[in-house]
Chains A and B, each alone.
Chain A
Amino acid sequence: MKFLKNCTVILFIIIQSGTLLYSEDGLLLRDKYLSDDENSGPGETVLSGRLYSDVLRTFSAGEFAEPGETRSYSPLADSDDSVDFGDGTGFPWEDGGSSFDWIISVGHDGLYNLSLEYFPLSGNGMTIQRKLLIDGKSPFIEAENIPFYRMWRDDGPVKVNTFGDEVRPGQVEVARWQKSRFTDINGLYPGPFSFYLTEGSHRITLQYVDQPMAIGDLTVSPAEILPTYDSYRDLYSFAEPVGIDAEVRVQGEDARLRSDSILRRENSFDPSVEPFSGGKSLLNIIGGWRWRSGNQSISWKIMIPQAGFYQMPIRLQAPFGEGLPVHRQILIDGEIPFEEFREYSFPFGLGWTTHIPGDSKGNPYLIYLDKGEHTIALVNKPGTQRDAVLILKDLSLRISELNKQIIMITGGNPDLNFDYELEKKIPGLLGEFTHIVVELERVKEILLAVSTSRSPIISSYTMKQEQLRDLLEKPYLIPRRLGDLIDVQMLLSDSPLWLQEQPLNIDYLSFVSPERHLKDYKAGLFRRIYVSFMNFFRSFYKEYDQVAGMEEEGDVEINTYINVWVARGKEWGEIMKQMADELFTPATGIGVNVNVVPMDSFAIGGSGGVNSLLLSLVSGKYPDVALGVPQEAPVEYAIRGAVTDLSQFSDFEEVMERFLPGTTMPLTYDNGVYAIPETMDFTVMFYRKDILNELNLRVPSTREDLFRKVLPVLAQNGMSFYYAMRPNDVNEIARLYTPLLYQGDGEYYSEDLMSSGLDSDMAYQAFREMTRFFTVYNCEIQADFYNRFRIGEMPIGISSFADYMKILVAAPELFGRWGIAPYPGVLQEDGSVDRTAGGKLSTAVIIDDSSKKDAAWEFIKWWTGADVQSLYGREIEAVIGTEARWNSANIEAFSRLPWPEEDKNVFEEQWQWYAEQPMALGGYFTNRHLRNAWSSVVMGDMDPRDALEKAVDDINTEMNNKQFEQNRRKEVLELKSH
């Protein structure tokens, strides 16, 4: 027995040492490949440079410049080029790639603010951005994107719709000269940037990043120092007291200017809000969840009848922060009156309250106002939470670096019975853990000091601290607790985002005589019960699936109504309806009724739902237009004569120019095109720059590179390549197979689309390659790419739009450390690389039985236009968040979305290679049997050729059956017509 035990131990040691040798071997192998190809080596630069907060820390407060040195400079440009914009002249700056320079000189070393006069030129409504260089160098990372905000106002008064609800007016941009200090685009820092300038002349350069504007003078002023409240009071010691009755009030919803078109009038049913909503949905507040990101500002105009000091009660509600306060910078006439208003903190509270800004003892701050009109602006700033955010951002980088290093040693699938001695192999591992635990304590202290109730986020930090402490004591547990470490990374990188989001609702602002003692008030209990009951009662007769229309107005004559069904979420339908009412109906006289139907309603099969579009045709209650129809469906509908051939419209060709040429392929049947693309997916390669650098790998451009150079190295380091598919969806297989098939010059069908084309040798080669990913290179068949990419287990992989957005939005710690590249292709004879790959479409169709086809076509043309699509994309992001980005199939609209520049280039390159699967009669069997063949090979050890041959057989049988059926139907119909 003992002998046996010893044997096992020895065997175990041998095996383990074997793996160790192997991993050392791996390094050698890696070097071997390195010498193999001179080109290989780190190809990507990981984002580097210092953050503004680090730069600023190096200067002490004493280094402010002498006051009174403010000077303006015109740009170095030919003055003949300047254009008059009505209220001033300036240089239009519309083309990307260009830059403007200023030569400035300062008299003293010190910290200075820079500001620029600008006039926003109409672009696509996105924020204008420029990159700043001082003496040819970028001073810090945040200077890469200096924002210049556009200002928006309501386009006309509020209207009332058929339900009696108020409808928001559209938003128009205010075109006028503005002056803005250079600040960070995330609104993280309290003030504008302070730049350290030495005595003498400097060259200031702005480079084009996004959006056109005209520019005027650049002003250099010493970094601003605000007075404290006490010295502010002393400045106006001459002020006369205002009468006790003095009171002016401005409703929040009547804001004049907003820095973002998504900030707008909102509705509250609370009985204490004025004006009270009653049964209707009145737009009686402003702000809400949309007013959550840094630097978003709203400003109001208010008439002051009498000069003097006022207190400033604001009726507000900050219900979103889970016990944490929200902060706003308060500006009076464009200036912060005193230091305390730089980031004023409004308390968290679920109910509405009248808050009077004041010091910690409850004494209200008094603000001096002259007689006349004044502007009050509130700007979103993170306040106290900023310190926590900065610490957490740093920690999230550290933990993700640690996790990456740990996974590099243990691999994604560690041997749980082996002590990797990570604390010895990763220098400073335990020190880092201790650091994170200690810093988290600081974060907790910062948050606890300001939160009114114990916020759940604080408890989650405590939990992570416990987990880390446990690992500190027993480091051998680390491989076993990788999951915990990943959780720590997720929390540390997600929570700065949550902390920075500080939404606020505002009912009204007012200025009241300081002598008045104001009491807070709430609606009485019975009144609130009554109002809730009435709202509940109203829900029985209010039609929720129908999106309400506008009351008919004199100037808009509505000739006809079309019914539109949208297979998307309710918000998607509502925003579309609003836009149609504001833009489409007045222009064309066509009213639009929008109905929201469940997501899967137009899918063929789907997750077991029933296709409501076809059923609606049976019942005769069909729409005119259906939106959100998945790519596979239109041709299936067309075969049954359910949808219209859109190519019969005279301007069809013109409309199709908005999309990639390859997108018509899957929508074509028998020379007709039956749908118009709405959204478009893409297939690209994702990679972690930092990990590839560390492994000395270059992003593979061809699949040969991928197989020969990348996959072996990944395997040796316990990492893998993501090439999985989501289960439960047959059509997923096409995402894997289409690129391989098309790049190998294969085709899905014979030329006449009457039989399968998968019996060709090209098709077989592609199929074999697809299965080899799994059988030879051991790619995982199913995996959660987002999580594995984030922690570095799958540093490279092929995926699509959904994962792209997830990583972009929900993996902030990876910012600058990952990238995308075009699909790894096949080297052509001329040296170029064939990168053909597809991307699923969702489409719009017109029902063939509809009697309003022309109106429906007008609507589809309007809907898929670039302006409408990009506006819609912005609105959706405003309501739901960036993760809901609208991947419009309209190329122009897609390009206008705020993509990172380098990713946009990748999209544009990949677009040139866009191709999708065509549709044939009975063609739904292609994906089904491809997948069956694939499962038989990958999971059942079947020979690829046998599996594919069987699939081709099955596909052809079904296609024949369907053709036979279709012909029989034709014959019967002909017989009947004779």
Chain B
Amino acid sequence: MISESGLNRNMSNETASLDRYRSKTIYFFKRYGKGYLFLLPFAILFVVFVITPVVLALSLSFTNYNIVQNPIWVGLENFRYMILEDDVFLIALKNTLVFAFITGPIGFMASFIFAWFIDQLVFRKVFALAFYAPSITSAVAMSVVWGAFFSGDRMGQINYFLMRIGAISEPILWNLDPTKIMPMIMFVSIWMSMGTGFLVFLAGFQNIPKPLYEAAAIDGVRTRFQELIYITIPCMRPQLLFGAISTITVSFSVFDHAVTLAGLPSPNYAGHTIVTHLYDYAFIRFDMGYASGIAFVLFIMTFSLGRISMKVFASND
């Protein structure tokens, strides 16, 4: 712009400024071009698969869109409704946060502790596989298995066992009773949470240089626990960061097993999470505009929590 106005103002400077302008661009590309070229494949993928959907979702969230007919512009109506009128959204938000703050840390810590244990065992790989198996199996398939365990019938395994030992006299309706649904989903989620994070931790333990432990022993470290606190955890920062972020995303996107175990919508919205709320609007009420709004809010939430974890775990050096 500047060079253009300069062009109009002062004809005599035309060639010089144009030259400078062109050479600057060329200079830039000469200097950094290759780097950007190498960046290009990722940049394209990132734009197509991340930026575009987010932007699209954001723009759809200002409309009323029923999938079949054209979207209608409604402005901030969806967000107004979400914040001011939608009680169920609050339930979903509450459930998700409760879920994330309970299963998230527990799952995270459990992954770490189990990985730490297993790392010291003899048949490391066998145990690793046993712990990792639930999370590679499809959530729906696993939930079907758990569904049989948690069947509200007297013949359901857990009820049968509890009644047999005399702990309860009436069967507990695990998947119908609103007060039992959330604990049940959390339990199954924790069991399934030994996922990627767990594997990364296992790999991380291998990465810690052995001399560090030897040096620490000389410096007076006596117990395994001390090793863990002073050596292992500080060395594991990158893995811990990755684990934390993946745990957060997983906890916020709990859907499959919640639906298979408690149904959609669950009784009194007891197992309603943000993602089930999103699904409810998108594929039961066919209100894609509102669903996009929810998706955007969910995106903002996971994104900011991710930032926070980065702050916490980022290496200072």
Q: Which residues of A come within 8 Å of B, CB atoms?
A: 412-413, 416, 604-608, 610-611, 614-615, 617-618, 636-637, 640-642, 727-730, 780-784, 787, 924, 928, 931-932, 935-936, 939-940, 962, 965, 968-969, 972
Q: Is the CB–CB distance between B177 and A939 below 8 Å?
A: yes
Complex interface: chain B residues within 8 A of A611 (CB): 283
Complex interface: chain A residues within 8 A of B286 (CB): 614, 636, 640
Complex interface: chain A residues within 8 A of B267 (CB): 931-932, 935, 939
| Contact digits for B230-271, partner A, Cβ 8 Å, 1 yes 0 no | 000000000000000000000000011001111111011100
Among the 9-residue stretches B47-55, B126-134, B147-155, B299-307, the one with 4 or more Cβ atoms under 8 Å from chain A is B147-155
CB within 8 A of B68: which of A614, A730, A939?
A614
Complex interface: chain B residues within 8 A of A784 (CB): 153, 155
CB within 8 A of A608: which of B152, B171, B260?
B260
Contacts A617-B67, A784-B153, A968-B64; A605 near B264 (Cβ below 8 A): yes
Give A933 to B17 CA distance when docked, in angstroms.
76
A947 CB, min distance to chain B CBs, angstroms: 10
Give A965 to B153 CA distance when docked, in angstroms.
42
Give A642 to B69 CA distance when docked, in angstroms.
9
Pairs of residues from A and B, 3 with the lowest C-beta to C-beta distance, nearest first: A728-B263, A782-B152, A608-B259
Residue ID in chain B nearest A611 by CB atoms: B283
Give A622 to B193 CA distance when docked, in angstroms.
39
Complex interface: chain A residues within 8 A of B154 (CB): 412-413, 780, 783
Contacts A782-B153, A924-B284, A935-B178; A969 near B69 (Cβ below 8 A): yes
9 contacts between A and B (CB under 8 A): A413-B154, A608-B140, A608-B259, A728-B175, A782-B171, A782-B173, A939-B178, A965-B64, A969-B66
Q: Is the CB–CB distance between A936 and B152 below 8 Å?
A: no
Give A605 to B177 CA distance when docked, in angstroms.
21
Give A935 to B66 CA distance when docked, in angstroms.
31
Residue ID in chain B nearest A965 by CB atoms: B64
Q: Is the CB–CB distance between A618 and B176 below 8 Å?
A: no
Residue ID in chain A nearest B267 by CB atoms: A935
Q: Given A608-B140, A935-B177, A939-B178, 4 other A-B contacts at CB below 8 A?
A: A608-B259, A618-B68, A727-B152, A931-B267
Chain B binding site: helix, strand, loop or mixed by DSSP? Answer: loop
Residue ID in chain B nearest A615 by CB atoms: B67
Q: Is the CB–CB distance between A729 and B69 below 8 Å?
A: no
B170 CB, min distance to chain A CBs, angstroms: 9
Determine if B108 is an interface residue (Cβ-Cβ < 8 Å): no
Q: Identify the interface centre among B67, B68, B154: most chain A CB within 10 Å of its CB.
A: B68
B97 CB, min distance to chain A CBs, angstroms: 22
Chain B contacts with A in 65-79, Cβ cutoff 8 A: 66-69, 72, 74
B69 CB, min distance to chain A CBs, angstroms: 6
Q: How many B residues face the partner with a CB closer than 8 A? A: 42
Give A928 to B280 CA distance when docked, in angstroms.
12
Complex interface: chain A residues within 8 A of B125 (CB): none
B192 CB, min distance to chain A CBs, angstroms: 16
Complex interface: chain B residues within 8 A of A962 (CB): 285
Q: Is the CB–CB distance between A728 and B260 below 8 Å?
A: yes
| Contact digits for B277-317, partner A, Cβ 8 Å, 1 yes 0 no | 00110011111000000000000000000000000000000
Q: Is the CB–CB distance between B259 and A640 below 8 Å?
A: no
Determine if B210 is an interface residue (Cβ-Cβ < 8 Å): no
Give A413 to B171 CA distance when docked, in angstroms.
11
CB within 8 A of B284: which of A604, A615, A940?
A604
Give A605 to B154 CA distance when docked, in angstroms.
29
Q: Is the CB–CB distance between B67 and A968 below 8 Å?
A: no
CB within 8 A of A935: which of B74, B153, B268?
B268
Q: Identify the interface centre among A780, A782, A787: most chain B CB within 10 Å of its CB.
A: A782
B193 CB, min distance to chain A CBs, angstroms: 20
Complex interface: chain A residues within 8 A of B279 (CB): 605, 608
Residue ID in chain A nearest B287 by CB atoms: A965
Give A729 to B267 CA distance when docked, in angstroms.
10
Give A224 to B263 CA distance when docked, in angstroms.
63
Q: Is the CB–CB distance between A641 and B153 below 8 Å?
A: no
Chain B contacts with A in 97-152, Cβ cutoff 8 A: 140, 151-152
Contacts A605-B264, A615-B67, A965-B64; A935 near B176 (Cβ below 8 A): yes
Q: Is the CB–CB distance between A640 and B178 below 8 Å?
A: no
Complex interface: chain A residues within 8 A of B255 (CB): 608
Determine if B9 is an interface residue (Cβ-Cβ < 8 Å): no
CB within 8 A of A939: which of B153, B173, B256, B285?
B173
Give A867 to B238 CA distance when docked, in angstroms.
69
Complex interface: chain A residues within 8 A of B256 (CB): 608
Determine if B222 is an interface residue (Cβ-Cβ < 8 Å): no
B226 CB, min distance to chain A CBs, angstroms: 47
Residue ID in chain B nearest A729 by CB atoms: B263
Contacts A605-B264, A607-B259; A727 near B176 (Cβ below 8 A): yes
Give A783 to B173 CA distance when docked, in angstroms.
10
Give A924 to B286 CA distance when docked, in angstroms.
12
Q: Is the CB–CB distance between A932 and B269 below 8 Å?
A: yes
Give A968 to B179 CA distance when docked, in angstroms.
39
Q: Is the CB–CB distance between B265 and A730 below 8 Å?
A: yes
Residue ID in chain B nearest A640 by CB atoms: B68
Q: Is the CB–CB distance between A940 and B178 below 8 Å?
A: yes
Q: Identify the interface centre among B166, B175, B263: most chain A CB within 10 Å of its CB.
A: B263
A240 CB, min distance to chain B CBs, angstroms: 69
B73 CB, min distance to chain A CBs, angstroms: 9
CB within 8 A of A605: which of B153, B155, B284?
B284
Give A588 to B259 CA distance when docked, in angstroms.
45
Residue ID in chain A nearest B262 by CB atoms: A728
Residue ID in chain A nearest B282 by CB atoms: A610
Contacts A781-B152, A932-B269, A939-B177; A640 near B69 (Cβ below 8 A): yes
Determine if B164 is an interface residue (Cβ-Cβ < 8 Å): yes
Give A968 to B287 CA distance when docked, in angstroms.
14
B92 CB, min distance to chain A CBs, angstroms: 14
Residue ID in chain A nearest B87 by CB atoms: A954
| Contact digits for B149-167, partner A, Cβ 8 Å, 1 yes 0 no | 0011111000000011010
CB within 8 A of A968: which of B72, B151, B152, B284?
B72
Give A729 to B262 CA distance when docked, in angstroms.
9
A470 CB, min distance to chain B CBs, angstroms: 17
CB within 8 A of B175: which of A608, A727, A931?
A727
Complex interface: chain B residues within 8 A of A729 (CB): 263
Residue ID in chain A nearest B139 by CB atoms: A608
B316 CB, min distance to chain A CBs, angstroms: 43
B86 CB, min distance to chain A CBs, angstroms: 10
Complex interface: chain B residues within 8 A of A614 (CB): 67-68, 286
B142 CB, min distance to chain A CBs, angstroms: 14
Give A940 to B64 CA distance when docked, in angstroms.
37
B60 CB, min distance to chain A CBs, angstroms: 12
Give A421 to B171 CA distance when docked, in angstroms.
26
Complex interface: chain B residues within 8 A of A617 (CB): 67-68
B70 CB, min distance to chain A CBs, angstroms: 9
B83 CB, min distance to chain A CBs, angstroms: 16
Give A604 to B74 CA distance when docked, in angstroms.
25
CB within 8 A of A972: which of B72, B140, B259, B283?
B72
Residue ID in chain A nearest B276 by CB atoms: A608
Complex interface: chain B residues within 8 A of A924 (CB): 284-285
Give A781 to B180 CA distance when docked, in angstroms.
15
A47 CB, min distance to chain B CBs, angstroms: 29
Residue ID in chain B nearest A480 by CB atoms: B164
Complex interface: chain B residues within 8 A of A783 (CB): 153-154
Residue ID in chain B nearest A932 by CB atoms: B268
Give A617 to B66 CA distance when docked, in angstroms.
11
Give A617 to B68 CA distance when docked, in angstroms.
7
A204 CB, min distance to chain B CBs, angstroms: 51
A785 CB, min distance to chain B CBs, angstroms: 10
Complex interface: chain B residues within 8 A of A932 (CB): 267-269
Residue ID in chain B nearest A922 by CB atoms: B285
Q: Is the CB–CB distance between A730 and B263 below 8 Å?
A: yes
Give A607 to B173 CA distance when docked, in angstroms.
19
Give A413 to B166 CA distance when docked, in angstroms.
12
Give A730 to B285 CA distance when docked, in angstroms.
14
Complex interface: chain A residues within 8 A of B163 (CB): 413
